[in-house]
A and B are shown apart, each in its own frame.
Chain A
Amino acid sequence: MRVHVDSSKCQGHNRCYALAPELFDVDDYGNAFELNDGVVPVELEAKARLAANNCPEFAIIIED
C-alpha cells in the first residue's frame, strides 16, 4: 500500500498527522506530506485508511 497527499487539496486540517504521525508529517505551514515515499508497512494499513477517511478535503490517495 502507498499513501499520497495531494498538496493541491491539502488545507492543513492536520487530521492525518494527528492520527498517523508514522505515515505523515507537516511542513512549517502546516501542510501535510507522506513520509518514506508513501510506503505503508502492513501493520499500519488500518491507520493509513483511518487517516484518509478523516480528511475533510479528500486529499489523501491510497494505492493498494
Chain B
Amino acid sequence: MTTVYGPVTDWATDFDHGDPEYNKNIHQIWETLKASGCPIAHTERYGGTWLPLTHEMVHEIAYDTDHFTSRNVVVGQLKPSQVEDAAPAPIGGAPPITSDPPFHAGARRLLLPAFSPKKIDPLRSKMEKMCNDLIDKMGDRTDVDAALEYSQHIPVLIIAEMLGLPLEDADKFRGWVNLILGNIGDERTEDRMAQFMEFDAYLNRHIADHVENPRDDLISFLLDAEMEGQKLTPHHVQGTVLLILIAGIDTTWSGIGSSLWHLATNAVDRRRLSENPEMIPQAVEEFLRAYAPVTMARLVKEDVEFHGVQMKEEDWVLLPFPAANRDEAQFENANVVDIDREENRHAAFGLGIHRCIGSNLARLELNVAVETFLKRFPDFELNDSEEVTWSTGQVRGPRTLPFRILARA
C-alpha cells in the first residue's frame, strides 16, 4: 500500500517515510541513500522534503532556530501557508514543541518541573503494578502479542492519568495518535477531517470539565499556570494537552516494543538480561540508540544553502535522530546493537532546546516494562510464522509482536 505520491521506484535517489517500506527497511534504506552519495537526501513528496543522514547535520539543524522553525513538526501533504488558520510561529499549534524562541523558553519552563526526575521516579511502583496486571491478563497462554497486550497499554494509562483523562478512553487516544502520526501519506478525506474535529471537541470538553471541577492533574495545572503574569490562552492549554497526549503514547510504546522485539530475536542478549537484570538500564540506552522511535521535522524559514544544497522556504526538513544514532562518525560500530556499550551519548530524545520533556518518564516506563517482562517471562521468542508489522511515518515501532512464551517465572 503506497501513499498518494505513488510507489518509490528507486530508494537510492528518492524516499517516502509514509510508505510502509520505509520503516520496514529503514536501516538498509539509510545505508543505500548514503552510499549513493547523498548525506542529505531529497524528495519532491509532501511539497519538498529533505532528509539529513549524519549526526553532524541533525545536530546543526536542531540547534539552528534562526533558519529552521518548529512551527510544524509533522511532515504533511500541505505546508502551513496552504492551511487556513494554521497556528503561526512562534507559538504553533502544540506549544512548546511547535514553538520557537523567544516564546519557547517560557512555555517549556512551565512543564519542566512536572517531568523532572524527582517527580517521575516515584511513579515506579505504579508502573510495576500496571505491567504486572497486563501480564496477569495473559493467563497461561503461550501465544501472546507483546505490542497489543502489553507495550501499547502502558504509556496510554500513565499519560491519561497524569493529564486527568478517563482511562476508559484509551482506545480513542490510540486512534487519534494514529490519525496525527500515522498514515500521513493517505488521501486527505472528509472522514479524516471529521476525526480531527472529534478530537478537538473531546479535548475542549475535558478541559471545560476541569475548569468546572479542578483537580490535581496536568490539565488543572495548565489552567492555573501563568506565563509572565498571565494565564495561558485556551489555544495554548489545548495545544499542550494535545501534545502531551500524543507525544506520550506512540513514542514510548514504540520504544518498549522495539526493545522487546530485539530481545525476542536475540537469545544471547535475552539470557544475559534475564540473568543480570542490573544490566537492563545500560541495555535500554542501547535500544534507545539503535531503535530510536522518533524522527522530528522542521520547516525552512527562508531560502538557505546548507552543506552544499539549496533549501527553499517552507521545505520540510526531517530530523531523523535514529539516523544520527547510527552515524559511524559519532558511534563506533554504529550498526551493531551492543548491550555492553558504555559510552552512549545518543540523540533518541533529541538535541538542544527541544529535548524531549518526557524523557525521564519514557526511560522509567521503558526500564520497568522490560524488567517486568523479563522477570515474568525469563524466556520467549518471536513467533515468526506471523509477520511483525512496523508503523509508518515519523514514529517507528512494531504494531504487532507475536511472541511465544517459553518460560514463566
Please tell me if the beta carbons of B360 and A14 are within 8 angstroms of each other in the complex. Answer: yes
Question: In the bound complex, what is the Cα–Cα distance between A44 and B108 (angstroms)?
Answer: 34
Which residues does chain A contribute within 8 Å of B344, judged by CB atoms?
Answer: 54
Q: Are A57 and B351 in contact (CB under 8 A)?
A: yes
Q: Give chain B residues whose Cβ lies under 8 Å from the Cβ of A38.
A: none
A17 close to B109 (CB less than 8 A): no
> Does A50 sit at the interface, judged by CB under 8 A?
yes
Residues of A close to B281: CB separation below 8 A? 18
The listed residue with most B CB atoms (<10 A of its CB), out of A18, A27, A30, A57, is A30
Select one of B116, B117, B345 contacting A55, CB under 8 A.
Answer: B345
Query: Do residues B117 and A56 form an inter-chain contact, with CB atoms below 8 A?
Result: no
Q: What residues of chain A lie closer than 8 Å to B109, measured between beta carbons?
A: 29
Decide yes or no whether B46 CB sits under 8 A from chain A.
no
Which residue on B lies nearest to A30, using beta carbons? B116
Q: Which of A13, A29, A54 contacts B116 (CB 8 A)?
A: A29
A43 interfacial by beta-carbon distance below 8 Å: no
Q: Chain A contact residues: over half helix, strand or loop, or mixed?
A: loop
Interface presence of A26 (CB below 8 A): yes
B349 to A, closest residue via Cβ: A13
Q: Does B346 contact A (CB under 8 A)?
A: yes
A56 touches B116 (CB 8 A): no
Chain A interface size band reads 10 to 19
Q: A residues within 8 A CB of B342?
A: 50, 53
Interface string of B351-391 (1 = CB under 8 A from A): 11101000110010000000000000000000000000000
Cβ-defined contact, B112 with A12, below 8 A: yes
Cα A56 to Cα B344 in complex, Å, equals 8
B contacts with A: majority SS: helix
Contact B345 A53 (CB under 8 A): yes
Interface size on B, residues (CB 8 A): 23
Q: Which residue of chain A has its CB nearest to the CB of B282?
A: A19
- Count of inter-chain pairs, beta carbons less than 8 A: 55
Q: Which residues on the B side are within 8 Å of A11 (C-beta)?
A: 351-353, 355
Indicate whether B343 reaches chain A with its CB closer than 8 angstroms.
Answer: yes
Within B99-140, the residues touching A (CB, 8 Å) are: 109, 112-113, 115-118
B33 is an interface residue with CB less than 8 A from chain A: no
Quick one: closest B residue to A11, CB to CB? B355
User: Nearest Cβ in chain B — how far from A62, in angstroms?
Assistant: 14
CB distance from A61 to the nearest CB of B (A): 14
Q: Does B242 contact A (CB under 8 A)?
A: no
Please, which residues of chain B bring their CB within 8 A of the CB of A2? none
Q: Which of A21-64 contact B (CB under 8 A)?
A: 26-30, 50, 53-58
- A30 with B117: in contact, given A12-B112, A14-B359, A14-B360 (CB under 8 Å)? yes
Residues of A near B263 (CB, < 8 A) are: none
Chain B neighbourhood of A26, CB < 8 A: 116-118
B247 interface hit (Cβ, 8 Å): no
Binding site for B on A (CB under 8 A): 11-15, 17-18, 26-30, 50, 53-58
User: 16 A-B contacts, Cβ less than 8 Å apart?
Assistant: A11-B351, A11-B353, A12-B116, A13-B349, A15-B345, A17-B117, A18-B117, A18-B363, A26-B116, A28-B112, A28-B116, A30-B115, A30-B117, A30-B360, A54-B344, A56-B345
Other than A29-B116, A30-B116, give 18 A-B pairs with Cβ distance below 8 A.
A11-B355, A12-B112, A13-B359, A14-B117, A17-B117, A26-B116, A27-B116, A28-B118, A29-B113, A30-B112, A30-B113, A30-B117, A54-B285, A54-B344, A55-B345, A56-B345, A57-B352, A58-B345
